[in-house]
Every structure is written in structure tokens, then in C-alpha cells.
Amino acid sequence: MFRPSYVAGSFYPKDKSSLQKMIERFIEEAKTNIEYIDEGRHIGVLCPHAGYVYSGRTQAYSFSYLSNSPPETYVILGPNHTGMGLPISIMNEGSWETPFGEIKINEELASKIIEKSGFIGIDSSAHKYEHSIEVQLPFLQYIKKDATFVPICMGIQDKETAVDVGRAIAKSSKDPLGVIASSDLVHYGSRFSYNPVRGGKEEILSWIKKNDMEILKRAEELDTEGLYKFISSKDYTTCGYGPLSAMLTCMKELGAKKGKILNYSNSYETSGDYSAVVGYGSVGVKC
């Protein structure tokens, strides 16, 4: 099955040359600010998935971290924004298109993950218009031209499901593996029906960063239990906490002890609008 690009030209440039230059600029900037001190066969990262003009710089930190010793194969976990398809949907064959060309699904790995999980079902409709996984692919193709991947779209994100998915991934690959959790952080403002703090610009931005960092700190500690408690306590609007928890679970199963916060930013830094703010974080885990 072939999935054409859906958000090329909106979330990221449709023109190959423009896309190449943008990603190259972001990656080179990130490389000057990352210390590659971790060693490991398996790598997990948290990546944002907004338009590149907003979150591309933070996204580049995760892919720069991956690029130090990039595996051949990746599992990309993203939330389901469209409501289409099965609750946990995997595409198990075919390829996806970006301006850089096609990237193939690793059919053998996909089959093993399905076999090991009690929740994942084969379904392409959940992926048709979903951007959270697609926006990771141009960065992935930039750092590893011949990479293969497995896309998993999570329409439900409870802890039991996330743990099942993470463990299934861990049990399915003996080769070095990259696991990418696609998630933005807080979605603050009336546009998102989330206004837990009132006040001026500095008060709002300070609250946003403080609470987004709580998410990143829990990710750094591989603390899925703490992540769910925090999300629940504040009804926090992190859109991909399930994919993040699945990635953390997978890395713990593979032997990881701790992650590393790589970068944080938010949409205000680009838009200048503090009435509607989305947070972006990058975390890396190796084992």
C-alpha cells in the first residue's frame, strides 16, 4: 500500500530543495548544542510534530541525537488527531511518500509487533490524514536515507495500552532499533479550551514552561507512572502522552535507565502570541 504525503506544503516545504535546506539548517544548529556522550544499540526520542517553522528546531535535536549512530529501522508512534481507524492502528506493508521520495515499511518488524501486542490492529485509514507520524519522515530520511519504519497511530492512550505497545515493540526486534514518540506538550489557550492560569504574558509563559518541564523531567527519568499522574492531576493537554509512554516503556524493557532532555521551546517564540501556546520538547534515551 502506498501512502502519499498529506501535509507537505503546509507543515513542511513541498519543494525538495527548500525542505533539504530547512532541515540542514536546523540539524546543524542542533549539533552545536548536543553532547554525544551516550552509547547504545537502541535509541528512543521524543519529537514534536507541529509545522517546521514552529517546532522544527526542537525536532532537529532529537534527530541530531539519532544521527550519531542511526539504526536501520524505526518505530514511529503518534497520536490520532483525526479519530479515524482502529484505536491502535498499524500499517504493516507498503511505503510512504515525502518530497525526498518513498520510505518503506519494515513488514517483518510490523508483523512481529502485531503478534506480540494485545491491542494493535492492522488499519491504514487512521494514517491517511494524520500528520503526527508523517512530519517525522523527512527528518528521518535526511539522517538515514535507506531507513525503514513501522507507523503506529494511537487513538487511545491509557497506561495499559501504552505499556502493551511498548513491550510489544521491545520484544519484536533483536537488531538496533530507533523508537520515535511524536508528541507536542501543552496546548494552552481558549483555542484549545485550556486556560488553567490567568494573568499577563510573563505569568502565562512561566507557567507553561514550568509544567512542560515536568513532562520532560518524567520522560528523562523514564517515569511513566509519574507521567500519567501528572497528566491526570492537571488534565494536561499533552497530545501524545501515550506514544511517549510506549517509547519509554520500550526503552526500559530494552535496558535503559535514564534519558536526557535535549531541548525545549514553544510556539510563542515564533508567533509572539501568548494567548495560544503549544509546547515542544526533545528527549533522548539510549541503551
Tell me the pTM: 0.98
Candidates 173, 145, 284; CA nearest to 220 is 284
Three-class DSSP category at 116: helix
CA 154 centroid distance within chain: 12
Model pLDDT, residue 34: 84
Question: Residue 37: is its pLDDT beyond 70?
Answer: no
Model pLDDT, residue 164: 98
- The per-residue pLDDT of the chain, averaged, comes to 96
Question: Residue 40: is its pLDDT beyond 70?
Answer: yes
Reported in sequence order, the residue ranges of the chain that DSSP labels E, i.e. its strands, are 2-3, 43-47, 73-79, 88-90, 95-98, 101-104, 121-122, 148-154, 177-182, 187-189, 259-266, 276-286
Residues in contact with 111: Cβ distance below 8 Å, sequence separation at least 6, in sequence order:
92
Residues in contact with 33: Cβ distance below 8 Å, sequence separation at least 6, in sequence order:
61, 263
HSE-up (13 A, CA, CB side) for residue 229:
7
What band does 222 get if pLDDT is binned at 50, 70 and 90?
very high
In this prediction, residues 28-39 reach a mean pLDDT of 83
Model pLDDT, residue 224: 98
Candidates 178, 152, 161, 213; CA nearest to 284 is 178
- Model confidence over 115-130: pLDDT tens digits? 999 999 999 999 999 9
Candidates 278, 262, 281; CA nearest to 270 is 278
DSSP state of 287: -
Three-class DSSP category at 162: helix
Residues in contact with 251: Cβ distance below 8 Å, sequence separation at least 6, in sequence order:
42, 44, 170, 179, 222, 259, 285, 287
Cα separation of the two ends of the chain: 33
CB atoms within 10 A of CB 24: 12
CATH number of the domain to which 228 belongs: 3.40.830.10
Beta strand pairing call for 73-79 and 148-154: parallel
Q: How far apart are CA 94 and CA 117, in angstroms?
A: 21
Model pLDDT, residue 198: 83
Q: Which residue range(s) make up the domain with 245?
A: 2-286
Count of domains for the chain: 1
What band does 173 get if pLDDT is binned at 50, 70 and 90?
confident
- Model confidence over 3-32: pLDDT tens digits? 999 999 999 999 999 999 999 999 999 999
